Structure 1
Amino acid sequence: MQIDGLDALKSAVSSGWVAEFLFFWGHTPKDHRVDKHVLSQWWPATFIIDGQAYATAEHYMMAQKAELFGDRDTLDAILAAPAPSQAKKLGRLVKNYDDERWIAHRFDVAVRGNLAKFGQNPELRDWLLATGETVLVEASPVDSIWGIGLAADDKRAGDPHAWPGLNLLGFALMKTRQSLRTKERAA
């Protein structure tokens, strides 16, 4: 079943579809193997878009935010940031920021970055494709935009109707997975 957002997921579950969830949060696995941690925007996986290298998907997203609002100085600082946490902090300082405009672009930005991240890193791509039709859920108790606003062990995490968050990252990754699968079948 193709689920493209929270409303579609809620509708499918209400219609009796039993969803299988893969909860993730964080980017540092205990043993450095490829696992659910690769779903994090902070996972170190260099990729190139339009000739520009990005160290992480977070760097890409924050750079695109700065570019969208014409803030070249912050864009340059984001690209030079040694860690995704610093790129994120810089992204919060983008000049001329307009929330409504960012909201209109953020999902597509996340999908484009993740298509490059997973598409250019075969081990990550294979891992993502192996998740099948599982609903990918960023179980961040502190992020109700990109995550669900709940920890994975919260009893409400298994019920999308109870999520205080949007899970935008989870749905962007699912769209990425579907696009990669379609591309693989066409090859």
Structure 2
Amino acid sequence: MPDPAAFDAFHPFIKGVFSQWHPTPFNLTGEWFVTAEQWMMVAKARLFDDLAMAAAIMATPDPAEQKRLGAQVSGFNHDVWMQHRVSIVHDGNRAKFEQNPGALRQLSQTAPAMLVEANPRDWNWGNGLQVDDPANHSPSEWRGANLLGRILTKVREDLR
């Protein structure tokens, strides 16, 4: 069982402004993106020179479709993606929060807690747990890496 003091040290989330799918438009590289998911999938497609897929991702405002299309990027190389994914997601989220004062205010209000994407289906970007699981407050019990939560915590610190 986690230490009660740990409940202030972590901020679990699954939806809302901290989600990659939340509609929070921002401009990056001279283009407007409707979600951070769209930025991530377009950047992924461009990383592998799949410009047709990047255009298809840009054409849809639906984050589920953005994700689906991003999974079909031609020439995808797992090792290359692993080297670039964190910086891509960081850049998109930094722009998202920097350009949206209401979203930045919500992000700032989580300090000093570590943000935790509590997603039972995602062991990379999330921690692999339900949002109401007490283990969210005990990193040794996480099943996943919580990459998105760690990135958002860094973005919050960058924008202080």
TM tier, smaller: over 0.9
Runs of 4+ residues deviating >4 angstroms: none
Q: Deviations over 1:68-120 (max 9, x none)?
A: 00000000000011201100000000000011110111111111000100000
Question: Which of the numbers 16, 33, 41 marks the counterpart of 1:54?
Answer: 33
Percent identity between matched residues is: 42
- Secondary structure (helix, strand or coil) at the match of 2:37 reads helix
2:23 is matched with 44
| Structure 1, gaps ≥5 residues long | 1-12, 27-36, 182-187
- Once residues 136 and 113 of structure 2 are traced to their aligned partners in structure 1, the CA distance between those partners, rounded to angstroms, is 15
Question: Which of the numbers 22, 35, 44 marks the counterpart of 2:11?
Answer: 22
TM-superposed CA distance for 1:21, in Å, is: 1.2
2:149 is matched with 170
Q: Deviations over 1:46-80 (max 9, x none)?
A: 10012111000000000000000000000000001
Say whether 1:78 aligns with 2:57.
Answer: yes
- Written as runs of structure 1 = structure 2, the 5 A alignment for 1:1-187 is 18=6, 20-26=9-15, 37-181=16-160
TM-superposed CA distance for 1:155, in Å, is: 3.9
TM-score (norm. length: structure 2): 0.93
* 8 A Cα contact 2:10 2:136, kept in partner: no
| Structure 2, gaps ≥5 residues long | none
Instruction: Kindly provide the amino acid, as one letter, of the partner of residue 109 in structure 2.
Output: A
TM-superposed CA distance for 1:122, in Å, is: 0.8
